[in-house]
Structure 1
């Protein structure tokens, strides 16, 4: 039978229908486009400051960017782990607003311990214990008591800020311990101890969260909580571990920051806006629009380039805060639009 003898209805029956992309495929396509656009924006920022800011692209300045970004990176790694374990919804999912105040409190504890005559080892251990204690308090409030993460960590942030003021009386406390002197002076292959801390801890977090069974289970707990619970995963334990990890990283960041500041000074923990921005921005460097440690590393370098470039151009730091606020608003809006049904 030839095609001419077929009826129009039969011909329509045998004609192939166009394939419609699934919502998941549209989401992945949108994520890939956003990721490439973000990488292009990072490249444009680097090219702009290389042309406009004297000495920006020099190797010594690039190493300086890494060093300046180390404290932010460690705090952002902890925040990202909390967001991954709690889910993408930062209101009911996971967020830790206390990381900046935890940093300031840990710096104060280290400086006060040194001033009181304690050894480097004792002061270091007290600092780690303080960071873990704050993480445990967050875990108790969020996981144990079921308080919304936004409210629980906001309350803990104020507790940390108050304790820091009690310890320091809002005054500068100098510290010149051998440990801080070693962190400041030592270097290897042209990079300081602070820079190597960024690189090594970043690599460890990257492997831990994305290449180990524990990290994959943490992602499952955040992305599909009920399915993870049905599979036998201890969901509360994984969520609590993410807050404890954030507290530990805040304590390690405090040691690095104390070395940079030569002790404790008022306002040393005022870094929350940058931490939130880098953690949220990690999604735009991900193909699936999900928070990741790799995306956090790129976000930290992006913010580090902005801050360093503005400094070289003698632009007021107030503009940096404004730009960070706009970036947070844009990223949240972009994430919301990408999650809407029918948005490619």
Structure 2
């Protein structure tokens, strides 16, 4: 026993001496203070449990605990389908469940259960609206809110959601404007909630073409910086050649409702500040692209990207120009606020009280 303790003490002392020249002075003073405190006030504990090297014993224990935690986390993620679905690179892993997953509630006539939840048979629908945005922007919660709009007069608690690696689908219909014998499929709108995980954004482009969607709801978290959302909007919509060319060729404009979510939270920014911040981030991305394009030492060109034209010093989000068939409109949303403007945009493209 004593031999083992002596070997441990010698090992820890050797580690301390060999690492000391590479450690910053403040850390060395902290380690010395820890050792002095243990030897002065807890001599027995230091001798019996810390092998006369309290600081090195504590640091070694923390390091081993970190290694064990990382190993356990990696083992857990490797055995769960949710954390590895995006690694295949296949579109089916992201969009394959759209014909099976139905989120919402309110009426059996549109394929919903009366209490909400998931059904195996989706209803027929007239148009598709894509709900996209950065991670944790509140997209799935907004999807639930829209699909349960009939319950807005009652107390409604937002569902607990997590970052998803597969798309969700929801269906809504303006029941108050229809008759009992109406054709629900002619009025039902499908909403595709595309995950915001960066590794899945390459699949988003196929949903943004005019043959796939009628309009887009773009979620931005009003309590967080807009950097990630701006990069998504810039790369996969505003400067994406396939998206721009397909809408121009169809003679249509891609209408995007930028929803500033969580606006009821403490510290949330209003839609005007969000719009300014979004414009500033888009300007930064455009300047980076211009610098890369003008650089003489690069021969790399991204064929999927086209430059965003600007008449003045900065991008005008109210008028992106004739070369960009995209129109942006801003609205605020929160669980303490009505989502009627968003719902009307989803149902028929109407812009009610939208800034």
Which has the larger strand fraction? Answer: 2
Point out which structure has higher relative CO (alpha carbons under 8 A, 6+ apart): 1
Could you state the TM-score of these two structures normalised by the residue count of structure 1? Answer: 0.22
The structure with the largest alpha-carbon Rg is: 2
Which has the larger helix fraction? Answer: 1
